[in-house]
């Protein structure tokens, strides 16, 4: 619940689901530093919708294995105390823990839905630098493959991931569904256009580390400034650490052109409505074909076209098919031709409406909830 995704994804998803399924239990892993101020607000919102929240608090500096052993014991006692007909496990480790618990308790009638959120083991293997950690994730990969067969249903974020698993793992197509990262289109919406601005706002929102092309993101800013392009660059930092990194990397750039701030979630939608282009530059790899960035849906719902990397999930296909942005190969980022393409895109009539329609059709929370409810019924 301490994650930044709680309000943008999990909380709104649960509240919508509870309108149809009134009896829900939420199990989460939380730091042991005590409840944060926002937690009481979320707890009240969950209780109002009759959603029971059972957090497990971890000691400080808990390792990955110990963390999920504690979580598995939490799942065990919750399932032993009260019979649940369906368990939805968000990501690989909760799914593995839930499957083991169901096996120990011999709960054959309880259905397990594996909401993958991506190729968890593969992504961490690709992003990890320590040899022992890479080996650990490599060892876990066969278990991830086993879960595709062992769970009653699997949800992926992208069609590419579904086709890959069907081809490589020989998993039946009917046991796999695709539900991309959803966005509440009632929260995010385009601004009312009051006139043409000469200076356009380019936005880097949320995380820019890890799988993101951090160097090329800053290179894009530097090249735009050196070419005297009519852009301002806004960084909405994910947390204090990233805010500090961004400020350090941009300290030599003009303050009138580069703006860095950290926003609470309830202010992000209003600020995004002032932007003209959203940047989603991710390092393409085999692990990222199963990813769909949260910020992409928020940009499109806000009527903002996207500058995206080629080869990351279904995002490039969606952008090209719906004419709501530009897809570049990462080695091309920052060239004069690229900036000309960006200026042409932002000058194109109706591009904001096109982005909004794409979000409403493909990524809207209400549409995705209906897909998820249909999965529950079939399972």
**pLDDT tens digits, 49-82:** 788 888 877 776 767 778 888 888 888 888 888 8
Total domain count, the chain: 2
Give yes or no: residues 222 and 169 share one domain. Answer: no
In a domain, 47, yes or no: yes
The range of the structural domain enclosing residue 36 comes to: 5-184+364-378
Q: What is the pTM of this model?
A: 0.88
Band of residue 202 on the pLDDT scale cut at 50, 70, 90: very high
One domain for residues 230 and 329: yes
Is the model's pLDDT at 322 over the cut of 70?
yes
Question: What percent helix, strand, coil does the chain show, rounded to 5?
Answer: 50, 20, 30
Q: What is the pLDDT of residues 23-42, one digit of tens each?
A: 888 888 877 655 555 567 77
What's 330's domain CATH number? 3.40.50.2000
Residue 173 domain-assigned?
Answer: yes
pLDDT at 36: 59
Q: Are 167 and 35 part of one and the same domain?
A: yes
Q: Domain check: are 242 and 280 in the same one?
A: yes
Q: Is residue 194 part of a domain?
A: no
Domain annotation covers residue 32: yes
- Asked if the structure places residue 61 within a domain, the reply is yes
- Per-residue DSSP letters for 287-299? GGGG---HHHHHH
Instruction: Looking at the structure, tell me whether residues 177 and 237 fall in a common domain.
Output: no
- Are both 75 and 213 inside the same structural domain? no
Same structural domain for residues 334 and 372? Answer: no
Q: Do the domain assignments include residue 190?
A: no
132 shares its domain with 160? yes
Beta-carbon contacts of residue 346 (< 8 Å; ≥ 6 apart): 200, 276, 277, 305
pLDDT at 12: 80
**Mean pLDDT taken over the chain:** 86
212/178 same-domain check: no
pLDDT at position 8: 67
Residue 106 has pLDDT above 80, yes or no: yes
Q: Give the Cα separation of 285 and 283 in Å (integer).
A: 7
Q: For the residues of 145-197, what is the DSSP string, one character each?
A: HHHHHHSSEEEES-HHHHHHHHHHH---GGGEEE-PPPB-TTTS-PPPP-S--
357 and 224 co-located in one domain: yes
- Give the pLDDT confidence score for residue 60 in this predicted structure: 67
Domain identity same for 328 and 368: no
Percent of the chain with pLDDT over 90: 32
- Residue 189 domain flag: no
Q: What percent of the chain has pLDDT over 70?
A: 92
Whole-number pLDDT of residue 6: 66
Pair (15, 68) in one structural domain: yes
Say what the pLDDT of residue 215 is.
87
Q: How confident is the model at residue 205 (pLDDT cuts 50, 70, 90)?
A: confident
127-166: pLDDT as tens digits: 888 888 888 888 889 999 999 999 999 999 999 999 999 9
CA distances 67 to 62, 74, 202, Å, are: 6, 11, 39
Inside any domain, residue 195: no
């Amino acid at each position: 619940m301490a994650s930044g995704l709680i309000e943008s994804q999990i909380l709104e998803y649960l509240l919508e689901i509870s309108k149809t399924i009134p009896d829900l239990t939420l199990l989460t892993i939380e730091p042991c530093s005590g409840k944060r101020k926002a937690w009481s607000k979320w707890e009240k919102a969950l209780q109002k919708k009759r959603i029971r929240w059972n957090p497990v608090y971890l000691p400080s500096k808990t390792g990955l294995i110990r963390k999920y052993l504690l979580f598995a014991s939490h799942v065990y006692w919750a399932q032993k105390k009260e019979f649940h007909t369906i368990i939805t496990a968000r990501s690989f480790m909760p799914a593995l823990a839930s499957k083991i618990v169901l096996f120990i308790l011999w709960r054959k009638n309880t259905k397990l839905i594996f909401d993958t959120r991506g190729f968890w083991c593969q992504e961490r293997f690709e992003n990890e630098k320590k040899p022992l950690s890479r080996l650990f994730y490599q060892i876990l990969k066969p278990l991830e493959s086993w879960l595709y067969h062992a769970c009653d249903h699997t949800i992926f974020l992208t069609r590419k991931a579904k086709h890959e698993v069907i081809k490589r793992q020989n998993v039946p197509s009917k046991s796999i569904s695709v539900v991309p990262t959803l966005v509440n289109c009632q929260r995010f919406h385009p601004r009312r256009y009051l006139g043409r601005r000469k200076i356009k706002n380019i936005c880097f929102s949320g995380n820019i580390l890890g799988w993101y092309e951090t160097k090329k993101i800053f290179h894009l800013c530097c090249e735009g400034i050196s070419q005297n392009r009519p852009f301002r660059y806004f960084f909405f930092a994910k947390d204090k650490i990233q805010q500090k990194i961004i400020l350090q990397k941009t300290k030599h750039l003009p303050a009138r052109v580069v703006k860095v701030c950290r926003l609470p979630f309830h202010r992000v939608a209003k600020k995004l409505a002032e932007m003209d282009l959203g940047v989603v530059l991710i390092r393409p790899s085999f692990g990222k074909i199963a990813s769909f960035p949260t910020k992409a849906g928020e940009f499109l719902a806000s009527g903002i076209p996207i500058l995206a990397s080629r080869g990351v999930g279904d995002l490039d296909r969606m952008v090209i098919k719906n004419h709501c942005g530009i897809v570049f190969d990462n080695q091309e980022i920052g060239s004069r031709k690229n900036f000309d393409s960006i200026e042409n895109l932002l000058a194109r009539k109706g591009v904001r409406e096109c982005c909004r329609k794409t979000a409403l059709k493909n990524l809207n929370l209400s549409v995705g909830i209906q897909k998820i409810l249909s999965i529950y019924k079939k399972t």
